Structure 1
Amino acid sequence: MSSTSKPTSSENIVAQKYDRCLADLLVKAGVGFSVGVVASVILFRRRAWPIALSTGFGAGAAYADCDRSFNPARVPGTRIIPASTTEEETK
């Protein structure tokens, strides 16, 4: 086996990010649904709104994580330095 790995295409990177986002959505929405069912049965006399609310919270958290995955500029505290600035500093 060779130690050099072949570069991954941009299509594969996007597909991997999309797969991670979809899996994250299923997990977080599922956990939110489960918490909503438990809260509905124990605290709210079998109402439906806690289930919908907590599932929405899980889906929203997954959406935010996916947004950060596809657009790293939205990560708090991240600074984007233009390429022209870095080239001038190195000269």
Structure 2
Amino acid sequence: MEAQPLNSDSPIARVKATISLGSETYFAEANKGLISEQLYSVKEQSMSILKDFITKHNIPNDVPDEPEEISSEEDDEISPKPPVKKSKNKQ
């Protein structure tokens, strides 16, 4: 049995990637060009998938990290700093 080299025009995808992010699964594949071109294409697809996933699952910026009740209790315990007085130098 002889080994048959795959040429760049072959319809078979040679580079494939399965990306599992949490419970979601994504697929990236390339089937044209040299192996290095296919790897680059799959890398670009993977980065795009990751960017979309992060954007989709991003927490809005206006939501506070801590509940306000906890932060207000801490503020009561901490005494405010006295204002800094600026010295005026007369020449």
TM over 0.5: no
User: TM-score band, normalised by the shorter chain?
Assistant: 0.3 to 0.5
**Bigger RCO (CA 8 Å, 6+ sep):** 1
Q: Max radius of gyration: which structure?
A: 2
Question: 1 or 2, which has the higher strand percentage?
Answer: 2
Higher helix residue share = 1
